[in-house]
C-alpha cells in the first residue's frame, strides 16, 4: 500500500468543496491493528513548488475524501491516547478520527468543534510535529498519524456545511464582557462566552478582525476567507465586533471596566524588535510586521491594491521562526530572484514549523545558517545595498539548554541585497498596558495573571501572547478557553472557579464506533 495514488485535482475532490457525497469507510471490514500498521502515511497534496513560488494560493491542497478515509484507518484508537496529551486544548483526537473513519461526518465535526473553536486554522498552522503528532505512538515505528491534515479535512467539511453543526442559541445571562483584541485568544474566548449567553463585544484596533491570522500569516498558508468565515460564524452566533477601536486611545481600559462586567485582554505581542545595528533606518529595511501587514492585511500582493510594498531582486530575511519563513516565502512570491534566510543558529535550531522549512527549501529559499548580521549597508541615496554578516559557531549550551552561537573572528562577509526584512521577534506593546498603572506586568512588559487568567485588576483577565510572549495560535486559543471559563465563573460570582482536574484524556469509546461494528 506504499504508493497511494494521489488524485489529479485533489482540491476539487476534497470533502469541503463537494456537496455531500456518501462517506464510506476505506475498507469494507474493520481492520486489525496489525493491518492498520501496514498502511503508510498519506501525503498531503500540494501545489507544485515551482508554480506556487510565483502565486499566493494555498500551498497545501487538502486531503481528498479518499485520502482522508484511508489516513483515518491508520489510527490505532489507543486505549491511552498519548496524542491528546500533546494537544494544548486536549482535542479528543481518536474520537473525531474514528467518527471520520466510519463516515459519520456530523459526529466528527461536532466533537472537533466542541474541543477547538478554530479547527480550520489550527489544522493548518499548529506545530503538530511537537504536539499531537510528536506523541502519537505510530511515530515510534514509522510516521505518526497525520492528525493535522485530518483535523483540517473535518474542519473544512464543517465549514462547508454550516447548517449541520450549528449549536442552539443559549439563554441570555444579562452579563456583558469586553474582549480586547481579535486574534485567536480573543476570538476563542468570545465564542465560549457567547455560548454561555453573555453579551460579548470584541474591540479591535485594526479595521479587520483576526489578529495575526489576518495580518501576519500569509494567504498561501492560511487563506483569509477561512479566517473571515470563522469570524462570520462568531458574529452569527451573537458576538459584536467593534473595529478601529484602540484600547488605550479610543477607549481606556477604565472605561471598559465601567461599561462591562468583565474584560479579557488579548492584545498579542505586537511590537516589532529590530536588530539594533547600523543602517536599520535605510530605505528597504522592513520589520516583518510591516512587510507582512502590507502584503496580507492591505493586500499589496495584489497589484490592484492602493498600498505599496517594496519588491527586491535579492531579499534577506533575518530570523528563523515562522515569521521569517512567511516573510522570505512572501518575498519569493513577490518576484525576488533570491530570497535568503539569515539565521544565527543551525538548521536543527530553526524554530519554525518543520513543514514550513521544508516548503521553503522546495521553493528555492537560500539558507545562510550560523550567520549573524552586523550592519545594513546603503548607497548614497540611502537605499539598502547589502548586509554585512559574520559567521557563527555553536558553543556551550546556555541556561536555556540551547547551544550558544559565538562569532568566528575574521569571518565577516557581505550579502548583496536590496531589501532586508527583520523577523527576530516581537515584544509587548505598551499602548494599552502602560495606560493602567495598577495592571501588574512582568519585567518584559507582559501581563501577570493568576492560574485562571485573572490579572491584578479584579474582573480583568488576560491571555495569549500578551501573557506568554510570542507563542502559538493553539496556546493563545487555550488561554482564551481557560479565561472564558474563569470569566464565566466571575460573572456568576463563583470566582475562583473550582479547579478543574486536567481534563482527563477521555478514552475513545465513540458511539459511532459501536454502531459500526
Partner 1 sequence: MHAVVDRAQLSPNVTRLVIEAPRIAEIRQPGQFVIVHRAPGAERIPLTIADADPQRGTITLVIQAVGKSTEDLVALQVGDAIADVAGPLGRATELLDHGRAVCVGGGVGTAVVHPIALGLAARGVEVISVIGGRSKEWVIFEDELRRAGEVITCTDDGSYGRHGFVTDALRDVIEARGVDAVYAVGPVPMMRAVAELTRPYGVPTFASLNAIMLDGTGMCGGCRVAVGGKTVYACVDGPEFDAHQVDFRELADRLGTYRDFEARALEIAHRRDAAAEAGATQAAGGRCLIPGLASTAEAQEAVEAAGKRA
- Lookup: cell for 88: 494544548
Least distance between ligand SF4 and beta carbon 102 (Å): 15
Q: How many CB atoms lie within 10 A of CB 474?
A: 24
Find the shortest distance in angstroms from Cβ 384 to partner 1: 11
Please choose which of ligand FAD, ligand SF4, partner 1, none residue 294 contacts, taking the beta carbon within 5 to 8 angstroms, the exact cut-off set by kind: partner 1
Q: Show the site string, 313-332: x = touches partner 1 by CB under 8 A, - = not.
A: x-------------------
Whether residue 83 contacts residue 147, with contact meaning beta carbons closer than 8 Å, is answered with yes
Binding-site string for ligand SF4 from residue 84 to residue 103, where x marks contact by CB under 6 A and - marks none: ---------xx---------
How far is Cα 266 from Cα 274, in angstroms, rounded to an integer?
23
Within 279-298, the residues that bind partner 1 by CB under 8 A are 280-281, 283, 286-287, 289-290, 293-294, 298
Name the residue nearer to partner 1 (CB basis): 116 or 385. Answer: 385
The full DSSP string for 394-423 is: EEEE-TTSSEEEEEPTT--EEEE-SEEEE-
Q: Angle at CA 18, nearest 5°, toward 89 and 39?
A: 60
Closest to ligand SF4 by CB, 49 vs 82, is: 82
> CA 84 to CA 116: how far, in whole Å?
13
Q: Is 137 in the site for ligand SF4 (CB under 6 A)?
A: yes
For residues 110 and 149, give the distance between their C-alpha atoms in angstroms, rounded to a whole number: 17
Residue 205 touching ligand FAD (CB under 6 A): yes
**Closest by alpha carbon to 487, among 246, 194, 211?**
194
Among 6, 139, 297, 471, binds ligand FAD (CB under 6 A): 471
**CB closer to ligand SF4 out of 138 and 224:** 138
Cis, peptide link before residue 496, omega less than 30° from 0: yes
Task: Compute the least distance from the CB of residue 434 to ligand FAD, in Å.
Answer: 11
Smallest distance, ligand SF4 to C-beta of residue 124, A = 18
Residue 310 C-beta: closest distance to ligand SF4, Å: 44
Q: Mapping DSSP to helix (H, G, I), strand (E, B) and coil, where does residue 124 land?
A: helix
If you compute the radius of gyration of the chain from its CA atoms, what whole number of angstroms results? 24
- Supply the minimum distance, in Å, between the C-beta of residue 307 and partner 1: 5
Q: Which does 315 bind (CB under 5 to 8 A by kind): partner 1, ligand SF4, ligand FAD, none?
A: none
Least Å distance, CB 251 to partner 1, is 8
Binding part of the chain for ligand FAD, among 1-9, 112-120, 130-138, 183-191 by CB under 6 A, reads 183-191
Whether the CB-CB separation of 338 and 317 falls below 8 Å is answered with: no
Distances (CA, A) of 114 to 27, 88, 96, 111, 296: 28, 14, 11, 5, 30
103 or 463: CB nearest ligand FAD: 463
Distance CA 510, CA 165 (A): 18
Taking the C-alpha atoms of residue 17 and residue 321, their distance in angstroms, rounded to an integer, is 32
Cell of 187: 476570538
SS3 429: coil
Indicate whether 303 belongs to the interface with partner 1 (CB under 8 A): yes
- The answer to whether the CB of 470 falls within 8 A of the CB of 425 is yes
- Which C-beta is closer to ligand SF4: that of 179 or that of 505? 505
**Residue 48 in contact with partner 1, rule: CB under 8 A:** no
Please report how close the Cβ of residue 259 comes to ligand FAD at its closest, in angstroms. Answer: 15
**Degrees (nearest 5) of the Cα angle 343, 345, 347?**
85
211 binds ligand FAD (CB under 6 A): yes
Binding status of residue 76 toward ligand SF4 by CB under 6 A: yes
Q: Which of 358, 382, 402, 492 binds partner 1 (CB under 8 A)?
A: 382
Q: Per CB under 8 A, does 272 bind partner 1?
A: yes
Nearer to ligand SF4, 151 or 192 (CB): 151
3-state secondary structure of 14: strand
DSSP string, 203-263: E-SSSSS-THHHHTS-TTTS-HHHHHHHHHHHHHTT-EEE-S--BTTTB-HHHHHHHSSEE
Q: Rounded CA gap, 161 and 42, in Å?
A: 25
CA–CA distance, 134 with 117 (Å, rounded to integer): 22
CB of 94 to ligand SF4, least distance (A): 4
| Nearer to partner 1 among residue 49 and residue 277 (C-beta) | 277
Among 145, 177, 247, 317, binds ligand SF4 (CB under 6 A): 145
In the block, residue with C-alpha cell 476567507: 225
The C-alpha cell that represents 513 in the structure block: 464506533
Instruction: State the residues that interact with partner 1 by CB under 8 A.
Output: 54, 205-207, 243-246, 249-251, 270-272, 274, 280-281, 283, 286-287, 289-290, 293-294, 298-300, 302-313, 334-335, 337, 381-383, 418, 429-431
Instruction: State the residues that interact with ligand FAD by CB under 6 A.
Output: 125-126, 180-186, 203-206, 211-212, 216-217, 245-248, 266-268, 270, 292, 322-323, 326, 353, 429, 431-432, 464-465, 470-474, 476
Instruction: State the residues that interact with ligand SF4 by CB under 6 A.
Output: 75-78, 81-83, 93-94, 136-138, 145, 147
Amino acid at each position: 500500500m506504499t504508493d497511494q495514488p494521489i488524485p489529479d485535482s485533489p482540491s476539487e475532490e476534497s470533502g469541503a468543496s463537494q456537496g455531500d457525497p456518501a462517506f464510506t469507510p476505506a475498507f469494507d471490514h474493520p481492520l486489525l491493528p496489525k493491518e492498520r500498521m501496514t498502511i503508510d502515511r498519506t501525503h498531503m497534496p500540494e501545489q507544485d513548488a515551482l508554480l506556487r513560488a510565483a502565486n499566493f494560493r494555498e500551498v497545501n491542497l487538502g486531503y481528498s475524501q479518499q485520502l482522508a478515509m484511508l489516513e483515518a484507518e491508520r489510527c490505532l484508537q489507543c486505549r491511552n491516547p498519548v496524542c491528546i496529551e500533546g494537544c494544548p486544548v486536549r482535542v479528543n483526537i481518536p474520537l473525531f478520527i474514528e467518527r471520520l473513519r466510519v463516515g459519520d461526518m456530523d459526529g466528527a465535526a461536532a466533537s472537533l468543534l466542541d474541543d477547538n473553536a478554530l479547527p480550520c486554522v489550527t489544522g493548518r498552522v499548529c506545530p503538530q510535529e511537537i504536539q499531537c503528532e510528536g506523541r502519537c505512538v505510530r511515530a515510534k515505528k514509522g510516521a505518526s498519524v497525520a492528525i493535522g491534515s485530518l483535523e483540517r479535512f473535518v474542519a473544512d467539511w464543517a465549514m462547508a456545511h454550516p447548517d449541520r453543526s450549528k449549536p442552539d442559541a443559549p439563554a441570555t445571562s444579562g452579563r456583558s464582557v469586553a474582549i480586547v483584541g481579535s486574534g485567536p485568544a480573543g476570538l476563542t474566548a468570545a465564542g465560549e462566552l457567547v455560548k454561555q449567553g453573555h453579551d460579548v463585544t470584541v474591540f479591535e484596533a485594526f479595521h479587520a478582525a483576526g489578529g495575526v491570522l489576518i495580518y501576519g500569516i500569509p494567504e498561501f498558508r492560511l487563506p483569509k476567507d477561512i479566517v473571515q468565515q470563522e469570524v462570520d460564524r462568531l458574529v452569527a452566533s451573537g458576538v459584536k465586533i467593534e473595529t478601529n477601536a484602540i484600547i488605550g486611545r479610543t477607549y481606556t481600559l477604565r472605561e471598559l471596566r465601567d461599561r462591562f462586567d468583565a474584560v479579557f485582554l488579548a492584545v498579542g505581542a505586537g511590537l516589532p524588535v529590530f536588530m539594533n545595528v547600523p543602517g536599520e533606518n535605510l530605505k528597504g529595511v522592513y520589520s516583518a510586521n510591516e512587510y507582512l501587514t502590507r502584503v496580507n492585511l492591505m493586500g499589496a500582493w495584489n497589484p490592484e491594491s492602493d498600498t505599496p510594498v517594496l519588491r527586491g531582486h535579492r531579499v534577506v530575511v533575518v530570523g528563523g521562526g515562522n515569521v521569517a519563513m512567511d516573510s522570505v516565502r512572501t518575498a519569493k512570491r513577490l518576484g525576488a530572484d533570491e530570497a535568503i534566510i539569515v539565521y544565527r543558529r543551525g538548521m536543527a535550531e530553526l524554530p519554525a514549523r518543520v513543514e514550513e522549512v521544508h516548503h521553503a527549501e522546495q521553493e528555492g529559499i537560500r539558507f545562510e545558517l550560523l550567520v549573524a548580521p552586523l550592519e545594513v549597508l546603503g548607497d548614497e541615496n540611502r537605499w539598502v545595498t547589502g548586509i554585512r554578516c559574520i559567521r557563527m559557531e555553536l558553543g556551550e549550551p546556555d541556561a536555556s539548554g540551547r547551544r550558544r552561537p559565538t562569532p568566528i573572528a575574521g569571518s565577516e562577509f557581505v550579502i548583496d541585497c536590496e531589501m532586508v526584512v527583520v523577523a527576530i521577534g516581537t515584544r509587548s506593546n505598551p499602548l494599552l498596558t502602560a495606560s493602567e498603572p495598577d495592571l501588574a506586568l512582568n519585567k518584559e512588559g507582559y501581563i501577570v495573571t493568576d492560574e485562571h487568567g485573572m490579572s491584578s485588576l479584579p474582573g480583568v483577565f488576560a491571555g495569549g501572547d500578551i501573557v506568554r510572549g510570542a507563542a502559538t495560535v493553539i496556546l493563545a486559543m487555550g488561554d482564551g478557553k481557560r479565561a472564558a471559563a474563569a470569566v464565566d465563573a466571575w460573572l456568576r460570582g463563583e470566582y475562583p472557579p473550582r479547579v478543574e482536574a486536567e481534563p482527563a484524556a477521555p478514552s475513545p469509546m465513540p458511539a459511532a464506533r459501536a454502531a459500526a461494528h
